[in-house]
Amino acid sequence: MYGGKTTMKAILFLITINFLFVARAEEKTWEYPEDIPEATAPTLELAGSRPAGVLRYLLSQGARGAELSPDGKTLAFIWAISGVPQLWTISTEGGFPTQLTFGESITFFKWTPSGKDLLISKDDAGNERESFSLLSADGTREDVLLELSSAFRRFGDFSADGSRFVYASTERNGTDFDVMLYNIETRQNETLHTGTFGFFPVSWQPNGNKVIVTETRGEDGNNVYLLEITTGQLKELFVPKISANFSDFAWKRDGSGFFLATNLDREFNALAFYSIKNEKLEYLIETDRDISNVVLSNDNKKLAWTENNDGFSNLRMMDAETFEELPTPDFGKGVYQIGLSAGSLRGYARISGPKTPGDVLIWDLDNNTKRLLVRSSLAGLSEDNFVEPTSHRFVAQDGVELQGLLYAPDPIFFGGKRPVVVQVHGGPTAQSRPSFRPIEQFLVNQGIAVFAVNVRGSTGFGKTYARLDNKEKRLDSVRDLADTVKYLSSLPRVSVERTAVMGGSYGGYMVNAVLGSYPNLFNAGVSVVGVSDWVRALEEASPALKASDREEYGDIREERWQKFYTENSPINKVSSIRANLLVAHGANDPRDPVSESDRLVSKLRNEGRSVRYLRFPDEGHSFRKLANRVIFNEAVGAFLLENLRPDTTEIE
CB-based contact 375:359 (threshold 8 Å): yes
Spatial distance between the Cα atoms of 408 and 444, rounded to a whole number of angstroms: 6
For the chain, domain boundaries: 387-533+569-644
Check the CA dihedral 606-612-618-621 and report its sign. negative
Run of H or E residues at 407? strand 401-407
- Name, of 145-159, 408-422, 566-580, the range with top average pLDDT: 145-159
Q: Read off the pLDDT of each residue in 463-477 and give the average, rounded to a whole number.
A: 89
Q: Which residue has the higher pLDDT, 557 or 273?
A: 273
Q: 37-51: per-residue pLDDT in tens?
A: 887 777 788 887 888
Check the CA dihedral 521-388-443-384 and report its sign. positive
Question: How long, in residues, is the chain?
Answer: 652
Coil, helix or strand for 477? helix
Please spell the DSSP secondary structure of 460-471, one letter per residue: SS-HHHHTTTSG
- The closest alpha carbon to 505, from 425, 624, 618, belongs to 425
Q: 79-82 — which CB contacts under 8 Å span 24+ positions?
A: 79/1, 80/105, 80/624, 80/626, 81/1, 81/7, 81/10, 81/11, 81/14, 82/14
Q: Write phi, then psi, for 235 (nearest 5 degrees).
A: -105, 130
- Name 586's bridge partners: 616
Give the strands of the sheet with 131-136, arranged side by side. 106-111, 117-122, 131-136, 142-146
What percent of the chain has pLDDT above 90?
71
Q: Write phi, then psi, for 281 (nearest 5 degrees).
A: -100, 125
Class of domain 387-533+569-644: alpha beta
- The closest alpha carbon to 112, from 145, 158, 77, 166, belongs to 158
Task: Kindly report the pTM of this predicted structure.
Answer: 0.90
- The closest alpha carbon to 151, from 180, 172, 134, belongs to 172
Q: 427-442: per-residue pLDDT in tens?
A: 888 999 999 999 999 9
pLDDT at 266 over 90: yes
Q: Say if residue 280 is exposed, middle or buried (CB neighbours under 10 Å; 0-12, 13-18, 19+).
A: exposed
Q: What is the pLDDT of residue 40?
A: 73
User: What is the CB-side half-sphere exposure of residue 172 using CA atoms within 13 A?
Assistant: 17
Q: Read off the pLDDT of each residue in 442-456 and give the average, rounded to a whole number.
A: 95
Spatial distance between the Cα atoms of 104 and 577, rounded to a whole number of angstroms: 39
The CA distances from residue 277 to 164, 274, 604, in Å, are 25, 9, 62
CB-based contact 627:617 (threshold 8 Å): no
Check the CA dihedral 547-203-113-81 and report its sign. positive
Lowest mean pLDDT among 101-110, 292-301, 338-347, 643-652: 643-652
Spatial distance between the Cα atoms of 133 and 637, rounded to a whole number of angstroms: 38
Q: What is the pLDDT of residue 645?
A: 77
Run of H or E residues at 73? none
Residue type, 367: N
Q: 161-177: per-residue pLDDT in tens?
A: 999 999 999 999 998 99
pLDDT band at 17 (very low <50, low <70, confident <90, very high): very low
Residue type, 285: I
Q: Say if residue 245 is exposed, middle or buried (CB neighbours under 10 Å; 0-12, 13-18, 19+).
A: buried
CB-based contact 333:387 (threshold 8 Å): no
List of E strands, 218-269: 222-228, 234-238, 246-251, 257-262
Average pLDDT of the chain to the nearest whole number:
90
The CA distances from residue 611 to 28, 50, 416, 614, in Å, are 20, 30, 31, 10
pLDDT band at 3 (very low <50, low <70, confident <90, very high): very low
Spatial distance between the Cα atoms of 312 and 117, rounded to a whole number of angstroms: 34
Q: What is the pLDDT of residue 428?
A: 81
Q: What is the pLDDT of residue 21?
A: 44
Q: What is the pLDDT of residue 545?
A: 59
Q: What is the pLDDT of residue 395?
A: 97
Spatial distance between the Cα atoms of 408 and 187, rounded to a whole number of angstroms: 55
pLDDT at 315 over 80: yes
Instruction: Kindly give, in sequence order, each residue whose CB lies less than 8 Å from that of residue 461, ignoring residues fewer than 6 positions away.
Output: 403, 454
Phi-psi region of 464 (alpha: psi -120 to 50; beta: other; left: phi over 0): alpha
- The closest alpha carbon to 405, from 388, 418, 417, belongs to 388
pLDDT at 83 over 60: yes
pLDDT at 599 over 60: yes
